Amino acid sequence: MTESTLTITSQSQLADAVFRESGQNVNLCYQCRKCAAGCPVSYAMDYRPAQLIHAIRLGADDLVLNSKTPWLCASCETCTTRCPQEVDVAKVMDAVKIIAVREGVKPPIPEVASFYRAALANIKKCGRMYELGMIVGLKLRTFDFFKDAGLGMKMFRKGKLKMIPSLTGARTTWKIFRRVKRFERKNQTT
């Protein structure tokens, strides 16, 4: 019996874009659905992880980029651990979000996008997560000032929310942000 080799190639530009962004080849997926079976939030997703991977392979850009699935993904990496084909599904979810934002697609769950932006801005400023600052940043983005106010007060009373941020180790984070900025600029000009 001669040994045959299977070359898996992509016909989907979206799959190519995901590969460039994440290094993940979704064409390796053979739809065993182990990722979906283990996903703790798949019940709330519009397309389960395996379905989203398949849609990327098919080049169903509109469906994938407008799907709630990547925005609900909790990055727990259960799917990544379970995949027999070593597809890092969690990375694929991140890649889809990055591509969607770059393409100007309105996030289907704006609160999650606002949370990411508020958290990133906060870490960029303080060098680490400063919870109170992050909450203020999120409220200013969502204009939902009273949601979870009771919970916030409880946390504040228990000393879980600090009034002043700690800047310990912030220099290292700032350096990382500067380096990423330089890298992005370099990539834009080449």
Report the interface residues with ligand SF4, using CB under 6 A: 29-35, 38-41, 49-50, 53, 73-79, 82-85, 87, 89-90, 93
- Which tokens go with 13? 């530009």
- Which tokens go with 83? 């995949």
Under 8 Å CB-to-CB from 29, ≥6 apart: which residues? Answer: 50, 53, 54, 57, 83, 85, 87
- Which tokens go with 125? 């400023």
Q: Shortest approach of ligand SF4 to residue 164 CB, angstroms?
A: 34
Q: Shortest approach of ligand SF4 to residue 27 CB, angstroms?
A: 10
- Give the Cα separation of 123 and 187 in Å (integer): 24
- Give the Cα separation of 180 and 9 in Å (integer): 31
Q: Shortest approach of ligand SF4 to residue 42 CB, angstroms?
A: 6
Task: Closer to ligand SF4 by CB, 43 or 146: give it.
Answer: 43
Task: Closer to ligand SF4 by CB, 82 or 128: give it.
Answer: 82
Instruction: Please classify residue 169 by burial: count the beta carbons closer than 10 Å to its beta carbon, then call 0-12 exposed, 13-18 middle and 19+ buried.
Output: exposed
Q: Shortest approach of ligand SF4 to residue 138 CB, angstroms?
A: 21
Instruction: Please classify residue 178 by burial: count the beta carbons closer than 10 Å to its beta carbon, then call 0-12 exposed, 13-18 middle and 19+ buried.
Output: exposed
Task: Closer to ligand SF4 by CB, 24 or 122: give it.
Answer: 24
Q: Shortest approach of ligand SF4 to residue 96 CB, angstroms?
A: 11
Task: Closer to ligand SF4 by CB, 49 or 127: give it.
Answer: 49
Task: Closer to ligand SF4 by CB, 101 or 132: give it.
Answer: 101
Chain centre distance of CA 32: 23
Q: Shortest approach of ligand SF4 to residue 126 CB, angstroms?
A: 27
Task: Closer to ligand SF4 by CB, 39 or 123: give it.
Answer: 39
For residue 183, report the phi and psi dihedrals to the nearest 5 degrees.
-60, -45
